[in-house]
Structure 1
């Protein structure tokens, strides 16, 4: 296995720029599953991350009790309540990609929601609680994934799904994890590793210490989902999102909070477009 350095040169030619005929429905539809009323912040920042990377339509799918909270905090992002997993599946059916996990909760409802989403055909970005929920039974998670789905664990979540694998080193561990899961794996950290199930591995060189704060991983999940919704290959979408996420953090610098990141992405995108 030889890891590649993650930089625009390896994915920029496949970046989904709009053209003169583009409209919101041609630019991809992203869904983000929210937690209940007191746990909506993670979904909000994920949705804004997806919107800022130019997904044409972003919709937060939420329990009924979260509608009022979300409605007071979101503008361009749409809101769609659901009652149960089957209702969620129907709401997510038109989506090209869906993020599930940020502040979703560690109960059976999150597992049932994930299984329902797996029947939609959307690219799934599985993060946070939707990963930790499967500690000690990772095979049940892998059974519902497709090869274009994306898992986004930090090292703690990775260890819960792949006990002991990190002893092989981060690059080898991520590569083996992607093969076991038959999905893209984003092993987050100072040098984030992106691995595809076909054996490709990229190591991100521009990580920022300012990202070590709550919610930044939720923004990254939304960015990956936003690019995947635009039909960018999942491995490239994850690679591009990781690099841009770090560039946005560098632009903010000390004092960064997760809410800052989406608003810095237009500058990062402009530099990529001009380059």
Structure 2
């Protein structure tokens, strides 16, 4: 069954949104990690981290190579920062985190693949995006073997073709379903009508997309939003559906001239409207 989720029809994931109670504290609202690339590739992680914080994760920490720390530190405030020197050190830092985003501008290299492997040994749900996907192009089955149903892959069509060659020949819906089953994880196939597929066969089509999202860094923001919701213990399929819808709604509210940095700043308005509609 394919479930549409549009601006006109109120989406059915709304009752599962993780609103904090009066006794909530930052750790109860979830801990999100975001892995950064090297010193010249830190913007994507900062976008993802800010989005995760804006969507409600209580604690967000960027995990970065040592050379990136001095670049990131002056550019963040509420987001925390810790440097790591190896995949084993990253694994230790991620222990106790609820979700980790890895891939945005991480680099298509051995370090990124080692970092994904290390994170898969923690208890954190993984949101694997961008370079975290592309680096496994020669051996996609290895990536799939690291994943479970709480993890999320967020490819655009080019990345999807690299990981799942030939599947798109069946059409986007069939391809997304087959990919989620093969990976054993939620797959977000991005595009004008983004598809969200679960390994058990569920499929949602998001049809409130807007053209203003065709800008560098918007996918990094989406990855952070998904991670922020999962960190708050929202089911991964619903978290992906909710984040995709809110991502598009934030872009619609801003309109022409949107750049990725604008998206997290629109989330309070999107969340406020959803909060007013809660049942």
TM-score range, shorter chain: over 0.9
Whether the 8 Å CA contact 2:157–2:190 is kept in 1: the answer is yes
Separation in 2, partners of 1:165, 1:136: 16
Separation in 2, partners of 1:41, 1:163: 30
Corresponding residue number in structure 1 for 2:60? 58
Q: Deviations over 1:215-235 (max 9, x none)?
A: 000000000000000000000
Corresponding residue number in structure 1 for 2:236? 234
Map 1:74-93 onto structure 2 (within 5 A): 74-93=76-95
Which of the residues 105, 112, 115 maps onto 1:113? Answer: 115
Shift of 1:121: 1.2
1:19 aligns with 2:21: yes
Map 1:208-247 onto structure 2 (within 5 A): 208-247=210-249
| Structure 2 unaligned spans of 5+ | none
Which of the residues 139, 150, 155 maps onto 1:148? Answer: 150
1:9 counterpart SS class: coil
Separation in 2, partners of 1:106, 1:159: 16
Whether the 8 Å CA contact 2:96–2:123 is kept in 1: the answer is no
Which of the residues 264, 272, 275 maps onto 1:273? Answer: 275
Separation in 1, partners of 2:67, 2:5: 41
Separation in 2, partners of 1:205, 1:9: 11
Separation in 2, partners of 1:199, 1:140: 22
Shift of 1:10: 1.4
Shift of 1:6: 2.2
2:176 counterpart SS class: helix
Corresponding residue number in structure 1 for 2:32? 30
Separation in 1, partners of 2:258, 2:202: 32
Q: Deviations over 1:143-185 (max 9, x none)?
A: 1111110000000000000111111111110001000000000
Separation in 1, partners of 2:139, 2:5: 31
Corresponding residue number in structure 2 for 1:104? 106
Corresponding residue number in structure 2 for 1:173? 175
Q: Deviations over 1:32-68 (max 9, x none)?
A: 0000111000000000110010000000000111111
Whether the 8 Å CA contact 2:104–2:220 is kept in 1: the answer is yes
1:185 counterpart SS class: strand
1:143 counterpart SS class: helix
TM-score normalised to the size of structure 2? 0.97
Separation in 1, partners of 2:91, 2:78: 23
Q: Deviations over 1:230-266 (max 9, x none)?
A: 0000000000000000000001111110000000000
1:90 counterpart SS class: helix
Q: Tell me the C-alpha RMSD between the 2 structures.
A: 0.7
TM-score normalised to the size of structure 1? 0.99
| Structure 1 unaligned spans of 5+ | none
Corresponding residue number in structure 2 for 1:45? 47
